[in-house]
Chains A and B, each alone.
Chain A
Amino acid sequence: RGRAPSGGAAGPPAGGPVARWRRGGCGRCWRRCGRAGACCHRPVTCTPTSSSSHPKSWQGTRYDQERLLRKSCTLYVGNLSFYTTEEQIHELFGKSGDIKKIIMGLDKVKKTACGFCFVEYYARGDAENAMRYINGTRLDDRIIRTDWDAGFKEGRQYGRGRSGGQVRDEYRQDYDAGRGGYGKTVQCQ
């Protein structure tokens, strides 16, 4: 892939180390993989074409994915602290309805929590309410972010970063006490 094209609304911004760029959840902004922080546009107004996972690991076509997202009762939850427990997530997300299942995201190597999870509701309406009213609020003093997810499949509970955690924690430059301190590449320097 190499360096992304520069400038303009059609292309992602220039600059920065060689990195992969992808469209944000709203389809309008560009996000660099590994950069902490949420999309600049409120996810609620975004069309449900987002997926927090890269398309390359997804088997279905884009149309299928859209359809799955529209019917989905599962949310991806990001920017969690490594120390946030399933119990806390259950209490917070239980406010919008009965939860069917929570799957904690794990570091592939250490098998410990690495700051994301999936929350599946029984009813789509409950998931929508969570997107409306719980997305963007605080848990463990961190603003958490929710996104529609096409559905959990075995293997997706693991971080895809080279060190085992999430990709965003690989290249992160800042210090984040709730997410293992500095980003992995910085730690290795």
Chain B
Amino acid sequence: MSRRRHSDDTGQPHKRRRTSEPSEIEERLESLICRVGEKSNSSLESNLEGLAGVLEADLPNYKSKILRILCTVARLLPEKLTVYTTLVGLLNARNYNFGGEFVEAMIRQLKECLKVNMYNEAVHLVRFLSDLVNCHVIAAPSMVAMFENFVSVTQEEDVPQVRCDWYMFAFLSSLPWVGKELYEKKDAEMDRLLSQTESYLKRRQKIHVPMLQVWTADKPHPQEEYLDCLWSQIQKLKKDRWQERHILRPYLAFDSILCEALQHNLPPFTPPPHTEDSVYPMPRVIFRMFDYTDDPEVCDSHGGADFTVRFVGHYWSKCDVPSPRMVSGFKTSSDYILVIFAELFQLPSPPHIEVMYTTLLIELCKLQPGSLPQVLAQATEMLYMRLDTMNTTCVDRNSFTKNYCILSFDRSDCLTQDLEKPKPKFVREVLEKCMRLSYHQRIIDIVPASFSVLSPANPVCIYKYGDESNRSLPGYTVALCLTIAIKNKASNDEIFSILKDVPNPNQDDDDDEGFTFNPLKIEVFVQTLLHLAAKSFSHSFSALAKFHEVFKTLAESDEGKLHVLRVVYEVWKNHPQMIAVLVDKMIRTQIVDCAAVANWIFSSELAHDFTRFYIWEILHSTIRKMNKHVLKIHKELEETKARLARQHKRRDSDDDDRSSDREDGPLEEQIERLQEKVESAQSEQKNLFLVIFQRFIMLLTEHLVRCETGGIDVFTPWYKSCIERLQQIFLQHHQIIQQYMVTLENLLFTAELDHHILAVFQQFCALQA
């Protein structure tokens, strides 16, 4: 009795039944299929054979489920591509009809993916189909025909270059798998395709490349645009007669079985036409770190991104480092490091969340303690050496992950440099981040005395009315009063009455309503409150919540909002982390709005901190909040519209027209309100971007003019940082910014602008052109 109760104590609903229900079998099938190719006691070949037998037996009853699972793994598990193509090959050999149905299902899935802009997954599908040629499922000539249709996209008129780029990429990146086979069967056609490819690549424009490069110098490693890189690999592969050594090919073991199988022809595939809603993947620049000639095959194949996908993608989806058996082609620790850094530094953003890469590096160090930590240390050193030419955004990402390694190296070279130069800056940012994860005294203890100039400031609050010596400051007495009142749990009304006594330095502008912009009032209140709540984030958040009404009233006008932000900075300039969380909270509680934050960031008070990482952390976070807000309201609107549609449908099917209009009323009203909300949110979003671009242009123009008149070189560290930050804004939010192209062209990025600034805009336009 008690024993049974214990087994029920697992907390799971009791599922174990003796009889096998259909849903259980389906789950089992899914699990079997997903797990094949992973760590196992038996060989991959015997697992595949066994699984093929099991699936063949289940085909009569579970065919559609099996089809669906296989299509899904083809799309989502590219790291096991050849495992699954072999499986499909074996199934096709046993059941010809199934093979045909699978191919049709894949084509349908491919069309769907292209229709909904899932281009990365579409590439996986194309590669899968091409590898099916190797497994004798698809006839080579029909695959060549499909590729011919892909390449002919480059002949289309009035389509964006990125569209042609994608089809070219899908074709070229499948060749490492199937080039050999296709050449054997249809060499004349393939030659024609490759020469068409070459002429397309020669004529395509590459204005966008500077925006996407991690390094601004081409020494020691040239940074190739991704299609160029892939093309040179394919050419090399062709020269080697398609002898490819990295791809795992389980089907070779089954050659005798597979060559007996009958092949299917791919149905003729017409690429879906370009529409206004089509959003193609952005171009990329290939990241290189180690010597080009060291291991060209491994390094080069990263250009095709297949190893990246295979290795990093597996970790991301399973949170488990893949077995070496699966990752053929990875020979050394530097391979792992290169792949990880290539993804981490990708512009505009890494494919996966940044923290994943740090954790992955830690796991790898644990798995390969003899080699990986040293290679990682060397790589870190290498990256540090090349900091001067590294894109600012990548430098930030680098410091994000470098907390661990940085302190063990000799960085004394940066002490002799001007503090604004990349290397000293980098060390400062890293030390600041280390402090955030620990505490100030610890950093002081660790960092040698000679480096103290780079150490972060002690994150204490600066209370202007704290010292007796500041008695003479205007508002000092009110500040004292306020302190006592707040400590005695005064209400908002009491606070207001205390603040009434604060004189307004803008007396002339005062139109006697009592709540116009009074910078001194704001200063006294915000300084005092933040000082009292300085103990922790939670204390400060409580303070903001408790006195929300006061804040809203004082910060009603635009100048009010700006001044609140200024005072926050004055109080907490030693504690950037606190500034960031306070600004975040104030936006979320609508004390300030996003545009105010943008204006504040570009204001002269912050000029000194303008190149520091925390400023951009705040700006990007602000833009993100704005974007999320717009999406959220949009979603609400869509949901309400859907509810209305369902209501109509129900009514139509009920055929009951009494009081139908009355029922619609509230929903329609809600939709109208939401529509207005969406429009106002979108306009606020557009305004935010316009403010940001405008301020960038003003700042950069000032600098350029000053340099010209002074006869100094434009390319100061500040300028490099500023231009790259502007590029990052464009890149990171390119989809949203695309909507504003007309306004940007006509209002901001006009022909009169300095060509340095205009170039950035042109690079951006070239991205999706």
A-B pairs, top 9 by smallest CB distance, nearest first, are: A49-B11, A95-B355, A91-B436, A27-B10, A133-B359, A133-B355, A10-B6, A86-B536, A132-B319
User: Contact flags (1/0) for B332-374 with A, using CB distance below 8 Å?
Assistant: 0000000000000000000001111011001000000000000
Q: Are B437's CB and A104's CB within 8 A?
A: no
A to B CB contacts below 8 Å, 27 in the list? A10-B3, A11-B6, A23-B9, A27-B11, A27-B12, A44-B319, A47-B11, A49-B11, A85-B439, A85-B536, A86-B536, A86-B538, A87-B436, A87-B578, A88-B436, A88-B437, A88-B439, A91-B577, A95-B353, A96-B353, A102-B538, A104-B538, A129-B353, A133-B319, A134-B359, A137-B359, A139-B437
When chains A and B are docked, how far (Å) is the Cα of A104 from the Cα of B537?
11
Number of interface residues of B (CB under 8 A): 30
Q: For the complex, is A92 an interface residue (Cβ under 8 Å from B)?
A: yes
When chains A and B are docked, how far (Å) is the Cα of A90 from the Cα of B7?
39
Q: Are A88's CB and B11's CB within 8 A?
A: no
Write the residues of chain B forming the contact surface with A, with a CB cutoff of 8 angstroms: 2-3, 6-7, 9-13, 319, 353-356, 358-359, 362, 433, 436-439, 536-538, 577-578, 581, 584, 621
Write the residues of chain A forming the contact surface with B, with a CB cutoff of 8 angstroms: 5, 10-11, 23, 27-28, 44, 47, 49-50, 62-63, 66, 85-88, 90-92, 95-96, 98, 102-104, 129, 132-134, 137, 139-140
When chains A and B are docked, how far (Å) is the Cα of A29 from the Cα of B239?
58
When chains A and B are docked, how far (Å) is the Cα of A11 from the Cα of B5?
10
Q: Are B584's CB and A98's CB within 8 A?
A: yes
Distance to closest chain B CB from A132 (angstroms): 5
Residues of A within 8 A of B354 (CB): 95
Q: Are B437's CB and A92's CB within 8 A?
A: yes
Distance to closest chain A CB from B304 (angstroms): 27
Residues of A within 8 A of B3 (CB): 10-11
**Besides A47-B12, A49-B11, 6 new A-B residue pairs in contact (Cβ under 8 A), listed by A number:** A5-B6, A27-B10, A27-B11, A28-B10, A50-B11, A102-B537
When chains A and B are docked, how far (Å) is the Cα of A96 from the Cα of B316?
13
Q: Are B6's CB and A96's CB within 8 A?
A: no
When chains A and B are docked, how far (Å) is the Cα of A154 from the Cα of B87?
55
Residue of chain B at shortest CB distance from A97: B353
Residues of A within 8 A of B13 (CB): 63
Q: Could you say which of A11, A62, A88, A129 contacts B438, with CB atoms under 8 Å apart?
A: A88
When chains A and B are docked, how far (Å) is the Cα of A102 from the Cα of B539?
11
When chains A and B are docked, how far (Å) is the Cα of A5 from the Cα of B4?
13
Residues of B within 8 A of A10 (CB): 3, 6-7
Q: Are B355's CB and A87's CB within 8 A?
A: no
Residue of chain A at shortest CB distance from B539: A86
Distance to closest chain A CB from B436 (angstroms): 4
Distance to closest chain A CB from B246 (angstroms): 28
Q: Could you say which of B10, B358, B578 contacts A23, with CB atoms under 8 Å apart?
A: B10
Distance to closest chain A CB from B363 (angstroms): 10
Q: Are B362's CB and A137's CB within 8 A?
A: yes
Distance to closest chain A CB from B614 (angstroms): 12
Residues of B within 8 A of A134 (CB): 355, 359
When chains A and B are docked, how far (Å) is the Cα of A63 from the Cα of B536?
37
Residues of A within 8 A of B536 (CB): 85-87
Q: Could you say which of A90, A95, A137 contacts B537, with CB atoms under 8 Å apart?
A: A90
Residues of A within 8 A of B359 (CB): 132-134, 137
When chains A and B are docked, how far (Å) is the Cα of A23 from the Cα of B8?
11
Residues of B within 8 A of A133 (CB): 319, 353, 355-356, 358-359
Residues of A within 8 A of B439 (CB): 85, 88
Using known A-B contacts A23-B11, A129-B353, determine if residue A90 contacts B581 with beta carbons closer than 8 Å: yes
Q: Could you say which of B12, B355, B578, B621 contacts A96, with CB atoms under 8 Å apart?
A: B355
Q: Are B537's CB and A87's CB within 8 A?
A: yes
Distance to closest chain B CB from A91 (angstroms): 4
Distance to closest chain B CB from A64 (angstroms): 12
Distance to closest chain A CB from B629 (angstroms): 12
Residues of B within 8 A of A27 (CB): 10-12
Q: Choose among B355, B436, B581 the residue with the greatest number of A CB atoms under 10 Å from its CB.
A: B355
Residue of chain B at shortest CB distance from A139: B437
Q: Choose among B13, B354, B359 the residue with the greatest number of A CB atoms under 10 Å from its CB.
A: B359
Distance to closest chain A CB from B351 (angstroms): 14
Residues of B within 8 A of A139 (CB): 437
Q: Are B577's CB and A129's CB within 8 A?
A: no
Distance to closest chain A CB from B366 (angstroms): 11
Residue of chain B at shortest CB distance from A11: B6
Distance to closest chain B CB from A47 (angstroms): 6
Residues of A within 8 A of B355 (CB): 95-96, 129, 133-134
Distance to closest chain B CB from A148 (angstroms): 12
Residues of A within 8 A of B436 (CB): 87-88, 91
Q: Are B577's CB and A90's CB within 8 A?
A: yes
Distance to closest chain A CB from B257 (angstroms): 36
Residues of B within 8 A of A95 (CB): 353-355
Residues of B within 8 A of A92 (CB): 437
Q: Are A91's CB and B437's CB within 8 A?
A: yes
Residues of B within 8 A of A98 (CB): 584, 621
Residues of B within 8 A of A103 (CB): 538
When chains A and B are docked, how far (Å) is the Cα of A47 from the Cα of B436?
33
Distance to closest chain A CB from B1 (angstroms): 12
When chains A and B are docked, how far (Å) is the Cα of A63 from the Cα of B538?
33
When chains A and B are docked, how far (Å) is the Cα of A86 from the Cα of B10?
34
Residue of chain B at shortest CB distance from A63: B13
Distance to closest chain A CB from B732 (angstroms): 16
Residue of chain A at shortest CB distance from B10: A27
Residues of A within 8 A of B578 (CB): 87
Residues of A within 8 A of B356 (CB): 129, 132-133
Distance to closest chain A CB from B295 (angstroms): 29
Residues of A within 8 A of B433 (CB): 91
Residues of B within 8 A of A91 (CB): 433, 436-437, 577
When chains A and B are docked, how far (Å) is the Cα of A95 from the Cα of B400?
10
Q: Could you say which of B2, B12, B319, B537 contacts A49, with CB atoms under 8 Å apart?
A: B12
Residues of B within 8 A of A63 (CB): 13
Distance to closest chain A CB from B530 (angstroms): 15
Q: Are A87's CB and B577's CB within 8 A?
A: yes
Residues of A within 8 A of B537 (CB): 86-87, 90, 102
Q: Choose among B13, B353, B578 the residue with the greatest number of A CB atoms under 10 Å from its CB.
A: B353
Residues of B within 8 A of A96 (CB): 353, 355
Residues of A within 8 A of B437 (CB): 88, 91-92, 139
Distance to closest chain A CB from B396 (angstroms): 13
When chains A and B are docked, how far (Å) is the Cα of A133 from the Cα of B315?
11
Residue of chain B at shortest CB distance from A22: B9
Distance to closest chain A CB from B231 (angstroms): 36
Residues of B within 8 A of A137 (CB): 359, 362
Distance to closest chain A CB from B27 (angstroms): 14
Distance to closest chain A CB from B594 (angstroms): 15
When chains A and B are docked, how far (Å) is the Cα of A47 from the Cα of B11?
10
Q: Are A5's CB and B2's CB within 8 A?
A: yes
Residues of A within 8 A of B9 (CB): 23
Distance to closest chain B CB from A70 (angstroms): 13
Residues of B within 8 A of A44 (CB): 319
Residues of A within 8 A of B2 (CB): 5
Q: Choose among A85, A103, A133 the residue with the greatest number of B CB atoms under 10 Å from its CB.
A: A133
Q: Choose among B433, B437, B578, B581 the residue with the greatest number of A CB atoms under 10 Å from its CB.
A: B437
When chains A and B are docked, how far (Å) is the Cα of A88 from the Cα of B358?
17
Q: Are A66's CB and B6's CB within 8 A?
A: no
